Structure 1
Amino acid sequence: MEEEGTYQRGEGTGKLILDQMGEVVRVPRGTRIVSQGEEPNYFYVIQSGKLRVFLETEEGIRTDLTELGPGDYFGEVALVTGQLRTASVETVEETSLLQISKEEFDRVLDNNPQLARHIINQLANWLVKGDRRLESEVVHQVKLQKISWFDYVLLFGLIILLAVGFNFFNPNGVSLVEGWGEKDTVPRVGLKEAEAVYKNQEAMFIDARPNNFFNQKHIKGALNVPLPLFDFLYLMQLSQVPKDKPLIVYGHNISRHYDLDVARKLMLRGHEKVMILGGGADGWHKQFPLEPVR
């Protein structure tokens, strides 16, 4: 998915103060300027020509997103956040670009407060979207808690009646509780095995608990991906992780299996080696080096 604001249209080069900054480069048609998944090194302003922004899967399937022309610029948000490029850009025709390095980019922000405001607004929008997802999850949980025991009994009784009726007309029958006795599809890894993997830096550890628990104590180097913010944080921090990279998810308590929920969503995203850390809710406290958020 393209980051909103990363490829900016219609601002006009004349509105940016770029005196004695950057290097003008002329690029022939069909040249890739930036590639999806690479480290950001430059901010670009288009002086002439035309470029195309697109996404490309590992299988080579390409999706065109937009086209940029004179006065447009791109790459500013990636330099500020330090995130990998989320899309590729290539020239449609011979193009002249002003290429500005990371070191010069701070001066660009100092001289162009409207660009700084644009970046701040973009990051604020991401945070607002994350807060709305979290609020929606909390409201959903509160509504579930308001359901009375009578409602549960009534619903369960209705399910039994329907199942019995179905069994009566179906010689093969049907289980009253779907999935009863089935094993969970997410594999588990023991503490000792996970510790060895951790020491060899062979896997990424993901803490699925809410942020306030993560801030108190977590495995050193772990990435916090709570379920309400999963889509937002996946885009920002996990979308470029190879699908065959081992991902070890941990974090649950008596009432909520955060690790299982997040692990399932990772598997739905195509990750092939997702595992849940065993050893109970607190087993990792003694097995791994810990750190609080500073």
Structure 2
Amino acid sequence: MVSSASSDPSRALEQAERVLADKERKLFQLKALYDTARELATLSSPSHILDTFLLMTMGPLGVSMGFAMCMDSTGGAPRFSHRGLTDVDASALVSGDESISEALFGPSCVNVDGRVEISTSGLDAWPFLPDGVATLVRWCGPGEQAGLLALGQHLVEGGSTADDEEFLSRLVGVLITSLRNALAEEAVALLSRNLAVKNAEYEQALGLTVKAQREVDRRVFHLNTLYEATNELSGIVETRGILDTFLLTSMGAFSARQGGIYLHGETPHLVMRGVTADANADGLGAAELARFFETESERMPIPMSVRVLTGKKVLEGRTFPFKPHVAVAFSVDEQTQGILALGQCLGDQEHAADELDLLKALTSNFLVFLKNARYFEEVNELNKDLVQRNEELNRLLEEVSQCKLELSDVEMAREKILDIIRRETSRSSQVRRTDFVFILLVSLLVGLLFNFSNPNGVNLFPESWIAEPAPLVDVTHARELMLAGAVVVDARPAEFYRQSHIKEAVNVPSTLFDFVYSMRFADIGLATPIIVYGRTMSRRYDEDVAELFKKREFKSVLVLPGGLEDWEERGYPMERAQ
């Protein structure tokens, strides 16, 4: 009885110890499971998760060798982690991924997401496994992925139990969940990166669109400015009005506070805007601005040309009552140039290249209308001159008619005188000397009265007899002046001129001076030298014509006394009748 009683407590104690050891083991596994789940939850890389999982699985199970491999059925490099394998075994596993893929995704495999299979026997069917593998776990998931976990022998005798397999299955479940979360995070991160790239592309595209829209708006504004400027200038035919309208248009287009335009030529024009009256009077003068065009580098001899002037050095010294921010030098023709200057814009910004192109286009457009206005003014001047010439012709016709009437009266007086003479002759057979003198005096008196009463009467004495004679020039100097641009005038009658004359000489007989002058000399500058030749033994035509040119206010009228003979003797060019 005693021995039986003593054995019962021993068995109960042993049983209690086994229960306690089992609970401690389960508690250890639960704690290991918790630590593994917590550690894997902090990782986001599937490779790191696989590597950490292998370490945290081998420790609680007490194995020293193992590997884990995860593959995707859609392809891609496998994820592989190992501990305790030789380099040869590890390389063999990596290089044998095709046989491993067949084992994971072959036709005989049942792949269900979350499925876990644990094998401790029959491992010879897996030829790619290295020696020493005691436990093989195959899992499916997450998604199209599957993997293998191979573990070596337990360091503690006894091998694996059902609890160990259940613990291992739960660990693999935690791995699948962690991999699913990591892949989800990777997908979200990839989506975020793609979204960020797309957002950056959209922002860049939006920026380009805004920039393009601004550029289009600028181009539209420039085209509208050109169109409006064309409309404004097309209705103006006066030079001053075109200058003023163009200046206002340019200042408005570029938001300039101040501006000025100066047209340099035979008739200078100056227009200013945005400056005080005192500044306009004291700071800017046509004479000072004209110096801008006296330097050869600044002149623009090419007709209808435009040049934009920018920069402090280029704009220094320009005589304006304000500081030019940009200027345009332009040329209408070889005799007429101009400059447009604009002050600082309201925003104090530098002008962009397309704005300078707009300014050049506006100026080129302005030159067309300015040239047309100048043509219009020239036509008006020609019309006025034509009206004046018509009036002169009408007066001349009236004078000719009057002369005809006067000639009729003279003819009647002549007939009366002849009748008187005939009567006196018939009365006396011999003409007395006193009668002849009387007739001569009466005829002379009648001629003088007619000459003085006629506005186009003939001078009794040539004007060259009483006027100061024109300066003389020798043949050599005359030739030099002719080559330099002087005009040579042949004063002889037309029949002598046709026989022979100096080459390029203009025939201007004194009797036709007004007619030839209006046709050939009206547009010649008064500073042009005039060389006159042509005299005979009885008449000095050259001095008469030279005096007529002097009356037209020509500054340099010279007489070539040697005439055609000296010219021909020197071998200078001649023209003769064929």
TM-score by length of 2: 0.25
Larger Rg: 2
Q: Hey, which of these two has a bigger chunk of helix by percent?
A: 2
TM-score by length of 1: 0.41
Q: Which has the higher contact order (CA 8 A, sep 6+)?
A: 1
